[in-house]
Structure 1
Amino acid sequence: MPTSTDSDPLTTSPGDRHGATRWQRVLVALGGVLALLLLGAAAGLLIGLPSAEPAAPTAGSVDVGFAQDMSVHHEQAVQMASWERDHSGDPVLRQLAFDIEATQTAQIGRMQGWLELWGASALPVGGQHMAWMSGTSGHSHAATTSAGEGVATMPGMASAEELRALRAASGRDLDVLFLQLMLRHHQGGAAMLEYGAQHAEQPVVRNLATQMLSSQSAESTYLMQLLTQRGGQPLPL
């Protein structure tokens, strides 16, 4: 019977079919690798596209001024909350003080991180605050007296005498004074939060200012309730 070196696909042996299957798997694997490479190339092109984020803000901008001033404003709240947490005998106020301290410490960290990334000073230069809010209407008592000028003390900040009184107080007097000072502190910072939420260029700054305004407004309501329950009255802003 004549023999042939040509293979008939209808009479391919099981071994030959097994080899063909292996080659099919190899081809499928190569196709997958090629697809991944194409996806990687596309991702690289996307990464190379211009960013939608605005350029780093400069000194005197709303973003830098907000981060600097709000860091200072927050720092005093952290100090008062830390003292109340360690010296109050009221478990409700100890928990509130702990929450304020933890929240505002974390927010200070975020704002200081931004300032470092932007190459900006950690604190306002010259000891003046809120010059970045110059020209705003409705905030003349809290912002500036003329274009480019700031204020030495931000609204809601406790004086040195008030802080000494807080450290000297105890019992109910300590709790009431803490609530009074913290409530006024929150109320005083609201104008800066509103302005930052509306006028900052960086989305992260606007978002944080909006979150702060929402949370501190709710917290102010709670502070007022606690103060009333303890027979205290809010301090004038």
Structure 2
Amino acid sequence: MEMLQIAGTVPEDRLPVQEIFGPVPQGEGPYTGRRACFIRLGRCNLHCPPCDSKRTWDTSRYDLAQTCPPRTAEDIVEAAGEHGAGAGIVVISGGEPLLWQRTTAWHRMLTALPGDVHVETNGTISPNEFTTGRIAHFSVSPKIGRMGAADPAKRRIRPAVLADFAVLAGQGKAAFKFVTADAADVEEAARLVRDHQIPHDRVWIMPLGDESAAWTAAGRDIVAQVMDHGFNFSGRLHLTLGVR
């Protein structure tokens, strides 16, 4: 099983945590501006070159035992409470959080976290019944263009998984967010949306860029195209404000 291969030496009753921070405004997608606590878990099943969270997965640069030490669910929930959980949304990010959904630690963490819990996922793993029932919102970000350049399409685009998330999007429980570097990436996103019958009004296009000037410039180049396709446009509020 992929999760068990990724897990390595992480005990079943713990999750690898890169960081817990907040409260900060959610910077992207349909919940932009909402008060949020972030829990960033370690490990990923993809290898995106422009990823801004390489400490969660890049073993060529980091010792993941040091950057993402295992923590108990109880410890994670306590720390999340100290960073605003319960007074806003809790966003579980990564890495790829759904790698851990079959562990006892995941079940305990989701059961104990207060309020609305969101998950940010790369869209390669379907949520199981427990996860679907507990998570208020999935932010699904399939990797295309430069973001997907390091992995073959069959690894990062999984039709059955996208179909599951498309159903959740139709129910208002998921939104798709595509990170695009240029007009060609927007067209690639549009083809994927069409081919996998993803609701257009649940699609956000976000320009690639890890600093405000870069994504603003990229955004100016594609915003009209995004509107023409009937999609939504996502900025990166946290970069504009200079917060996490």
Does TM, normalized by the shorter one, top 0.5? no
| TM-score where L is the length of structure 1 | 0.24
Q: TM-score, normalised by structure 2?
A: 0.24
Higher-helix-fraction structure: 1
Q: Which has the higher strand share?
A: 2
